[in-house]
A and B are shown apart, each in its own frame.
Chain A
Amino acid sequence: MSGHSTYEPKNGFSRWLDARLPVGRLVWDSFVDYPTPRNLNYWWTFGGILSLCLGVQILTGVVLAMHYTASAAGAFTSVEHIMRDVNYGWLLRYTHANGASMFFIAVYIHMLRGLYYGSYKAPREVLWILGCVIYGLMMATAFMGYVLPWGQMSFHGAVVITNLLGAFPIVGDAITTLLWGGFAVDEPTLKRFFSLHYLLPFMIAGVVVLHVWALHVVGQNNPTGIDPKSKSDTLPFTPYATVKDGFAMSVFLILFAVFVFFMPNALGHSDNYIPANPLVTPTHIVPEWYFLPFYAILRAVPDKLMGVIAMFGAIVCIFALPWLDTSKVKSMRYRPQAKLYFFIFLVVCVILGFCGAKLPDDQVIPGLVTNITPLGSDLNSFVWLSRISTLYYFAYFLVVTPLLGLMEKPLPTPETISSPVLGGEHKD
């Protein structure tokens, strides 16, 4: 992207090192001199924010592991020990637990940014896929991390999620037994989840390196979706992007701090402060908020296997997006129809989230009974709202996105990034 390197070692040592291991050059080319499109808006600061989130999670996680006991008998007590006895243990644990939520808030904004501005389209398909892999690893890490306190929600969440895989014909039972290391979720399950929960973040960090590498090969997308054509379209990463990212991180940290210091349990579930009991399931079992839309999709389908397939399919759709979208125009800024469907999609995802948190047969409009009960549930129920929303979710990826690209008439796109600003003077 940047062509040849402009790094000039300033002293004898950096010249010596540059000839042997050019790390200084790498940092200079990647984070100082690297050209960024000059029109990036604040939606582009979430990459930096996500790196911060990963750093915070790894740092607090490594420290928490110094005090945590990965055993069915000791896990819950050790978490309480962290909360009550360890110096600043409450701060470290609340930061780690809320940090997971912050991580997902940031990653969802980051992904929706990509969706809206077409950041997944050629030549950024590999970049997008790597991002999806990171998201998948994040989900696995978050799920296993939630099991570790060994409270009621931890335990029965683990039971439900591992049983999901049992839905697959022939191999299902073998897979669940393999995950459990026994007849049910128990001590061996907890131990392997702890080990993997420690491992996966480092795998995420590895894929992040690939993600950033791929980004620096193809260059950043921007709100116009048009590639920079000349030097007047870009600005050096430092100070422009570093300062802007730094400001966004500071604002994000304020939100983070509000949760950690003022409402640390707002995003959790009180049942998880009850020690795990394999003999009693909580009356209402829900996953963490960031999994709720997928949980709603799972429950929307009245068949065990198909429900699981729908849930995993919802994630596969995101992976497949670069090849589902037929539009030549990247940014939805110039696609009024796509914009409309995108915002409906956004609302549908939020609705799915709400549905995931409710009992399937709860009424959407209180008191109204339609007595129309297709598939055994009243139409005025969250399960039917989930079904309609699930239908739109898949239609958005599998019908709207492929067809719209062929049928819509996009608005005219500018020649260059700078031309709308400079009034067409720079159309060279």
Chain B
Amino acid sequence: MHRKDLRAASVVAAFWKGDLKVAHTAADATNPVAGDDPSRRDFIHIAAITAAAGGGVAAIWPFVAQMNPSADTLALASVEYDLTKIEPAQQVVINWRGKPLFIRNRTTEQIAAAVKDDHAAMKDPQTDAERHKEGKPEWLILVGSCTHLGCVPTVGGGDYGGWFCPCHGSVYDTSGRIRKGPAPKNLVVPEYAFLSDTKVKIG
């Protein structure tokens, strides 16, 4: 360790022992060797630098925090949707937290196709039942962002009749599970709840 650092450490130790000297005569000021004892002046230096560093960090805090979502953004974080507007086999896309949200009214064939593949080899294995609410297999609610790089997949595309991402060719099945292409994960199922048989609250 540098000699100066050793000195700083001993000053702090001396402070806690209540042992600081009132040093510094005129001779001390001109002769650095004489100033080696822990003194009040050393303590002031350390205290000042510590306070400045602490204050600096505290000042940075609000400048970083302001970048996080503001209260009004967070207040708009959930949406309610009336499902009676969606016909069977139809998908609606709504804006949720600035991203597309897919709400798909699946037909019995589409559900059956998804269940049939429950144990097929997949990158991100999940059963269809894990991806919808119990007793509501027709309603599939997904975040409409490809898990590869965030493009919006088109409905009904690809080999499985689910979704196809036009950006880099990821293919999702009718359960929104990744089956082919570069995407690593299934389309995300957001947190949501049925408020009634026909009303759903997302977020």
**Interface set of A (CB-CB < 8 Å, partner B):** 59, 63, 66-67, 81, 84-89, 91-92, 246
Chain A proximity of B50: nearest CB distance (Å): 13
Let me know if A87 and B63 touch, CB within 8 A. no
Let me know if A91 and B70 touch, CB within 8 A. no
Additional A-B contact list (6), CB under 8 Å, known A66-B67, A87-B65 = A59-B63, A67-B70, A84-B72, A85-B71, A86-B71, A91-B62
B68 within 8 A of A: yes
Let me know if A84 and B66 touch, CB within 8 A. no
Chain A proximity of B79: nearest CB distance (Å): 19
Let me know if B70 and A86 touch, CB within 8 A. yes
Count B interface residues, CB 8 Å.
13
Q: How far is the CA of A246 from the CA of B72 in the complex (A)?
A: 39
A84: B residues at CB distance < 8 A: 71-72
Contact of B70 among A59, A63, A89, A246 (CB under 8 A): A89
Q: How far is the CA of A84 from the CA of B75 in the complex (A)?
A: 13
**Interface set of B (CB-CB < 8 Å, partner A):** 48, 52, 61-63, 65-68, 70-73
8 closest A-B pairs by CB: A88-B62, A85-B70, A85-B71, A85-B72, A87-B65, A86-B70, A87-B66, A91-B62
B48: A residues at CB distance < 8 A: 246
Let me know if A66 and B72 touch, CB within 8 A. no
Let me know if A63 and B72 touch, CB within 8 A. no
Q: How far is the CA of A326 from the CA of B52 in the complex (A)?
A: 45
Let me know if A66 and B66 touch, CB within 8 A. yes
Let me know if B66 and A89 touch, CB within 8 A. yes
Q: How far is the CA of A87 from the CA of B48 in the complex (A)?
A: 29
Closest to B75 in A: A85
Let me know if A67 and B66 touch, CB within 8 A. yes
B72: A residues at CB distance < 8 A: 81, 84-85
A81: B residues at CB distance < 8 A: 70, 72
A87: B residues at CB distance < 8 A: 62, 65-66, 68, 70-71
A81, A86, A92 — which one has the most chain B CB atoms within 10 A of its CB?
A86
Closest to B71 in A: A85
Q: How far is the CA of A89 from the CA of B65 in the complex (A)?
A: 9
Q: How far is the CA of A182 from the CA of B63 in the complex (A)?
A: 37
Q: How far is the CA of A88 from the CA of B58 in the complex (A)?
A: 12
Q: How far is the CA of A91 from the CA of B66 in the complex (A)?
A: 10
Chain B proximity of A194: nearest CB distance (Å): 19
Closest to B69 in A: A87
Chain B proximity of A86: nearest CB distance (Å): 4
Q: How far is the CA of A92 from the CA of B72 in the complex (A)?
A: 17
Chain B proximity of A54: nearest CB distance (Å): 16
B61, B62, B65, B71 — which one has the most chain A CB atoms within 10 A of its CB?
B62
Q: How far is the CA of A85 from the CA of B66 in the complex (A)?
A: 10
Let me know if B71 and A63 touch, CB within 8 A. no
Closest to A247 in B: B48
B52: A residues at CB distance < 8 A: 246
Q: How far is the CA of A170 from the CA of B127 in the complex (A)?
A: 81
Q: How far is the CA of A67 from the CA of B70 in the complex (A)?
A: 10
Chain B proximity of A63: nearest CB distance (Å): 6
A67: B residues at CB distance < 8 A: 66, 70
Closest to A59 in B: B63
In the assembled complex, 17 residue pairs joining A and B whose CB atoms fall closer than 8 Å, in A order, are A59-B63, A63-B63, A63-B66, A67-B66, A81-B70, A85-B70, A85-B71, A85-B72, A87-B65, A87-B68, A87-B71, A88-B61, A88-B65, A89-B66, A92-B63, A92-B66, A246-B48
